[in-house]
Amino acid sequence: MKNLLQQIIKKAQSNPKRIVFPETYDDRILYACSIIARKKIAMPILLGDEKKILSRMKTLGLSAKGTVIINHIKSEKQKYYAEKFYQIRKHKGMTLGEATKIMLRDEYFGTMMVHLGDADGLIAGAVHTTAETVRPALQIIKTKEKYHRVSGLFIMKLHDEFYLFADCSININPNSEELAQIGIDSMKTAKNFGIKPRVAFLSFSTHGSAKHENIDKVRKAAEIMSKKYPKAIVDGELQVDAAIVPFVAKIKCPQSKLKGRANVLIFPNVEAGNIAYKLVERLAKAQAVGPILQGLRKPVNDLSRGCSVEDIVNVAAITVVEAQNV
């Protein structure tokens, strides 16, 4: 656990994948892609004007070795991608002309690359909002099953411990079934990264210490997940101290499977999740990596607009590992 991010990077380096980066007008992306290519974490594909990108990288003292630059505006695949996008969206009333115009946007062109196998994953969000990153993925790549929900997970490094927080960015107020699916996806994400998941569904109550319909929702979600995966280490509803502090768990919930050692924390709604991860990041000085988008057929990951170069490199490694498991 102490070297989780290093382990993820090492796993990515064992089988690098093609990761496409829109937003190449942001220097953080250029810095990160230079590092990613040099360390052979991934094969970065940068979208944009080649002369402008190379000129800016030269000014920044960066090497473009190991990267591929594609001018998505002038690409010979523009027409092909637009036609494919039109076929996907025509039942929604989209015209070929509209599809052609939309495909000029870097996030849509990059997402179509992933969908059609010309890239293995996409990372955006340093400039684009979460909605602008997620919308093309939902429209083009789509979810694993028809009614599957996409959710946003953060890896939180606090001192020498790692926790997974979900959902912190997508589902505003999931119902019990949706919350259970978020828990299941987070469990699988943990396993993909070599973590033995211990899943806690969080609330303001521990095992019936309070009564409210919001608590019932969380308890039911834990029950749904437990029934689907009876061997999983999962419990809820739990207050966060009962979930992660062993001596508190002994007092509040001595029968809990988690014993106060949860490492996958499922929040009852996006409001709680988003506030929690930002508080832990800013006040406890934890490192937040993500959001990692769960539930898509192929990996597309969102960056915080306040992300650092290190964050981008880490998310790239995570995206490669996800692509290795597709």
CATH classification number, 4-142+297-324, choose in 3.40.50.10950, 1.20.1730.10, 3.40.50.300, 3.40.50.150: 3.40.50.10950
Domains 4-142+297-324 and 151-283 share a fold: yes
Cβ neighbour number for residue 56 with a 10 Å cutoff: 16
Three-state SS for 248?
helix
Residue length of the chain: 326
For the domain 151-283, what is the CATH code?
Answer: 3.40.50.10750
pLDDT band at 11 (very low <50, low <70, confident <90, very high): very high
**How high is the pLDDT of residue 288?**
87
Where in the chain are the domains? 4-142+297-324, 151-283
- 202 bridge partner residues: 238
The single residue listed with the structure tokens 């033995």 is 196
pLDDT band at 1 (very low <50, low <70, confident <90, very high): very low
**How high is the pLDDT of residue 147?**
67
Q: Phi and psi of 264, rounded to 5°?
A: -120, 110
Summarize pLDDT for 36-88 with one digit per residue, the tens.
999 999 999 999 999 999 999 999 999 999 999 999 999 999 999 999 999 99
DSSP run (H or E) holding 12: helix 4-14
Summarize pLDDT for 171-221 with one digit per residue, the tens.
899 999 999 999 999 999 999 888 899 999 999 999 989 999 999 999 999
Contact yes or no for 201/185 (Cβ under 8 A): no
